Structure 1
Amino acid sequence: MSNANIASAQLMMQQLNIHSEMAKGAISVTPNPRDFGLQPPSFTELMKNKVAAVNTDQNASAALMRAVDTGQSGDLVGAMVASQKAGLAFSTMIQIRNRLVQAFDEVMKMPV
């Protein structure tokens, strides 16, 4: 056997052992972030990150469309896909906002 085959066989055995330990319950499949000193992000941080991601998609789409319009790029399909992706991300963000406002209104209407 060559060294590559031996290394491949050893890697496969290690993976099998890990899966075997996971099946026995000896290894936790979902580690707790607090075990590593990490705190899960807050709702505010998650929303800021998603709004920033939607903004990035919108800006990238606009730049691609501008490049196609000015003749700097011939990738019309890529620009259209980016535009659709940005539009879908924005629409999803608006739907999430609407649901949050609706939930807030329902909570405010609850009797105390």
Structure 2
Amino acid sequence: MNPILQARNDMLGQMEQMRELSAAPIRPAAQIDGAVAEAGVGNAFEDALRAVDAQQHQASAAMAAVDSGQSDDLAGAMIESQKASVSFSALLQVRNKLSSAFDEIMSMPL
């Protein structure tokens, strides 16, 4: 299958999952997971960091496969590389926003 069509089908599948989730009633996180998960900005940022790292490793593996001749899917490797790049840029923007918010809170008078 064409990598662009595969990416489109993946995105359509994700959109369908989001539509199904949006139709479901909203439940607290403890009911979804079955256990109380630690909530917090630090844990959320760490999860996002791990997801971005996984995407970068996946893109690196795809590019290495193309470089070594194991794969001829250059378009797919470039798409993975762009996904990782966009994810990393978004993560940096979130980090910068969190940092500036922390600086503002710290500079507030008591």
Structure number with the bigger relative contact order (C-alpha 8 A, sep ≥ 6) is 2
Q: Please, what TM-score do these two structures have when normalized by structure 2?
A: 0.69
User: Out of 73, 76, 82, which is 2:74 matched to?
Assistant: 76
Superposition misfits of 4+ residues, deviation over 2 angstroms:
31-41
| In 1, Cα distance between equivalents of 2:29 and 2:89 | 31
Q: Is residue 39 of structure 1 aligned with residue 36 of structure 2? A: yes
Which runs of structure 2 are paired with 1:1-112 in the superposition (5 Å)?
Answer: 29-35=25-31, 38-43=35-40, 44-112=42-110
- The structure that has the greater radius of gyration is 1
| In 1, Cα distance between equivalents of 2:31 and 2:82 | 40
Cα distance, 1:90 vs. partner? 0.4
Q: CA RMSD in A?
A: 1.9
5+ residue gaps, structure 2: 1-23
Change beyond 3 A, Cα 1:66–1:34 = closer
Cα distance, 1:40 vs. partner? 4.5
| In 2, Cα distance between equivalents of 1:34 and 1:94 | 29
Q: Please, what TM-score do these two structures have when normalized by structure 1?
A: 0.68
Seq. identity, %: 40
Q: Aligned residue pairs: how many?
A: 85
